[in-house]
Structure 1
Amino acid sequence: MGLRANPTYRQRRFGAEVRAIREGAGLSAGEAAAVMRMQASHISNVEGGRTALSPERLRSLVEASGRKGTTYVDALVELGQASGKGWWTEYRDRLRPSLLDLAELEDGARDIVCYEPLFVPGLLQTMDYAIAGYRGGYTRASRPEQDLEVEFRMRRQAVLTGENAPRLHAVIHEAALHVSFGDPATRRDQLVRLLKVAELPNITLQVLPFDGAVAFGSSFTVLRPPVRKLSTVIVAHIERSLYLGDVDSLARYDDWFARLCEVALPPVSGDSRHSPHTVKDSYGLIQRLLYPLL
């Protein structure tokens, strides 16, 4: 089998975890190769995500590192053996690989947490809002390319209502709720959708108000599979988004999100509709913004 020219994020992440196990055990590439009965050059390709590693060899490396069989090891074996195929596969060679990586991560997530300072999260956008964002943005993509990305974004949203749907917790800055792309109807329908999806039992929505704490500047998403050690942070960037999976980054962004939740308004909930709004909350703020648009 030839080496992969363009490994997916999942394949690169598997390789990074193998390298972390090897380095954590204090083993050189040659020593690890001897443990797994393979050539040292093979180790480099595995750690770079360019080729696979059998479950037997992975477990022999884990045993040599002094670890015992754990849910993490089982999950890592599963990560390495996954086919990577799903509904997103049909978009291969038509969309940026990073979008396919995102869909695969969402498909395997148990929890998704995200913070957005300027836009409604993609998983919660209406089609008109998404279209307006692409049309009015700075991308040089052609109209057919934009339409394909909007279609892909809308299909991604099915993860929230499908079987084994993940829990989504979103903190959105109030600034994002004022974006209308010049069309009040687009803004109105988007605010209505936020209130509607927030009724789903697996979705928690909070708003960080203008008169609250200083906003965090960058949007980010943390995708957590059943084994949280294999979580991924995606930090949006105009050039290329960062995909982070190291222990320190995961802890740092988990802490930042927890702090955002503390300073944001209480979440939208089913009880919000029937409770007297003597205390400012996310539901009341969205309703206040929506009222002039009705």
Structure 2
Amino acid sequence: MAPRSRPTARQVRLGTELRRLREAAGLKAREVAGLLSSTSAQMSQVEAGFAGASEERVRRLAAHYACADESLVNALVAMSTDRTQGWWEEFRGVLPPVFLDVAELEHHATFLHEVVITHVPGLLQTPDYARAVFGYMVPELPESELTPRVEHRLRRRAVMECDPPVPYRTVVHEAALRIRVGDRELTRAQLRRILDESERKHVAVRIIPFDTDHFAGASAAMMHVGGPLPRLDTVLRDSPSGTAFLDAESQLQRFRRLFRKVERASLDPIRSRDLIHRLAKEL
């Protein structure tokens, strides 16, 4: 089978976990290649996500690496055999691959924890809000690129509307609610959307008011995506150079602590709703 030209983030993660198991066993790729009648180059392609790994191969590798974590092995097998063709595939070749990677990651999530400081969370945005955000890009996007981005953002809401929905917790700074990416009516409609979504049993929205003391977490924006096991969680962070997918255990531990710290600084869901109501009335 020819190598993939561009593996997805999920395929890369499978390869990364297989490499981590090999390294934990103290083995070199060339030592393992013989077990599978393969080559070091082919092993490197598997571990980089450019080549797939069958269920049999994943289980043989795990046994050779003396991995006794059956839950982990089963989770890796599920990743290797997954053939889901989700709605995001409609955007392949239309949007940058990272858009598809994010949607696929959310589709398989066991929970979503998000912190946003300057923008309303993407999963809670109205169509007009999303269009205003994407429309502000420099250079300005042509309509042929703007419209698919808005549609993709709205369709990501599938994870909140499926059965069962993915549990979603978000901490939003008051700044994100006050910044008017459009006019007053757009902002009012966006606040109403947040209030409506916050009434869902699987959604928790917490606000950090401007008058909160000792909050220096302006750089805490992130999305923590739960995997089938904590080891398989992923943290997404946006930067001017793009979206980073972080999955090293030390990074995951750091961002788990950071989310808990930011959440402690926020209002509880009831008081958060009261604050959103007051902001809407001010408009």
User: Normalising by the residue count of structure 2, what TM-score does the alignment of the two structures yield?
Assistant: 0.95
Query: Aligned runs of 1:137-156 on 2, under 5 Å?
Result: 137-156=137-156
**Residue 288 in 1 paired to residue 281 in 2?**
no
Query: Aligned runs of 1:248-259 on 2, under 5 Å?
Result: 248-259=250-261
Q: Higher mean Cα deviation, 33-42 or 7-16?
A: 33-42
- Partner of 1:52 in structure 2? 52
Q: Deviations over 1:121-148 (max 9, x none)?
A: 1000011111111223335321221111
- Partner of 1:236 in structure 2? 238
- What amino acid is aligned across from residue 166 of structure 1 in structure 2? V
Q: Higher mean Cα deviation, 82-91 or 242-251?
A: 82-91
- Structure 1 residues 139 and 256 mapped into 2: Cα distance closer, same or farther (>3 Å)? farther
Q: How far apart are the structure 1 equivalents of 2:139 and 2:106? A: 24
- TM-superposed CA distance for 1:182, in Å, is 4.1
| Matched-pair identity in % | 35
Any stretches of 5+ residues in structure 1 without a counterpart? 269-280
User: Normalising by the residue count of structure 1, what TM-score does the alignment of the two structures yield?
Assistant: 0.92
Q: How far apart are the structure 2 equivalents of 1:172 and 1:118? A: 8
Kept in 1: contact 2:191–2:276 (CA 8 A): yes
- Structure 1 residues 262 and 78 mapped into 2: Cα distance closer, same or farther (>3 Å)? same
- Structure 1 residues 48 and 292 mapped into 2: Cα distance closer, same or farther (>3 Å)? same
Kept in 2: contact 1:207–1:264 (CA 8 A): yes
Query: Aligned runs of 1:251-270 on 2, under 5 Å?
Result: 251-268=253-270
- TM-superposed CA distance for 1:211, in Å, is 1.4
Q: How far apart are the structure 1 equivalents of 2:59 and 2:69? A: 8
Q: How far apart are the structure 1 equivalents of 2:223 and 2:129? A: 20
Query: Aligned runs of 1:94-105 on 2, under 5 Å?
Result: 94-105=94-105
Q: Higher mean Cα deviation, 32-41 or 218-227?
A: 32-41
Kept in 2: contact 1:127–1:154 (CA 8 A): yes
- TM-superposed CA distance for 1:241, in Å, is 1.0
Q: How far apart are the structure 2 equivalents of 1:292 and 1:177? A: 12
- TM-superposed CA distance for 1:165, in Å, is 1.2
Kept in 2: contact 1:113–1:170 (CA 8 A): yes
- Structure 1 residues 69 and 257 mapped into 2: Cα distance closer, same or farther (>3 Å)? closer
Q: Deviations over 1:137-175 (max 9, x none)?
A: 335321221111001111111220112211000000110
3-state SS in 2 of match to 1:216 = coil
3-state SS in 1 of match to 2:190 = helix
Any stretches of 5+ residues in structure 2 without a counterpart? none
Query: Aligned runs of 1:67-146 on 2, under 5 Å?
Result: 67-146=67-146
- TM-superposed CA distance for 1:64, in Å, is 2.0
Q: Deviations over 1:173-230 (max 9, x none)?
A: 1100002224000110111111110000110000111111223314210111222211
- TM-superposed CA distance for 1:5, in Å, is 1.3
Q: How far apart are the structure 2 equivalents of 1:40 and 1:284? A: 60
- Partner of 1:36 in structure 2? 36
- Partner of 1:245 in structure 2? 247
Kept in 1: contact 2:132–2:182 (CA 8 A): no
Indicate the RMSD between aligned Cα atoms, in angstroms.
Answer: 1.4
- What amino acid is aligned across from residue 220 of structure 1 in structure 2? M
